[in-house]
Amino acid sequence: MIGINVYLVLIAIATLLSMYRVFRGPTTADRLVAVDIMTTITAGLMVLFALYYQRMIFLDVALVYAILAFGGVIAFARYMEGGL
């Protein structure tokens, strides 16, 4: 098999590609969708880092990060809809 370093680099490249849409996106909704995808990909990166460093506590970091990102995206969506 290929090894964990290659997966880490590939996921980091995917994060950078979505970062491009965050900077470039013509409308606010484009940037928000890109931020949503970027947080999902970053949660996966944190889970892989837990395996890389052999520390199970990093899985809790990924879980809390996913929860906070979900709340933030919902709050931004309500704000963009005009209901906040």
Specify whether the CB–CB gap between 69 and 39 falls below 8 A. Answer: yes
Is the Cα dihedral 48, 49, 55, 56 positive or negative? negative
Q: Using CA atoms in the order 30, 36, 40, 46, what is the torsion angle rounded to 10 degrees?
A: 110
56 counts as binding other proteins under rule CB under 8 A? yes
Question: Binding to other proteins by residue 5, rule CB under 8 A?
Answer: no
Q: Which residues bind other proteins (CB under 8 A)?
A: 1-2, 4, 7, 10-11, 13-15, 17-18, 20-21, 25, 27-30, 32-34, 36-37, 40-41, 43-44, 47-48, 50-51, 54, 56, 59-60, 62-63, 66-67, 70, 73-74, 76-78, 80-82
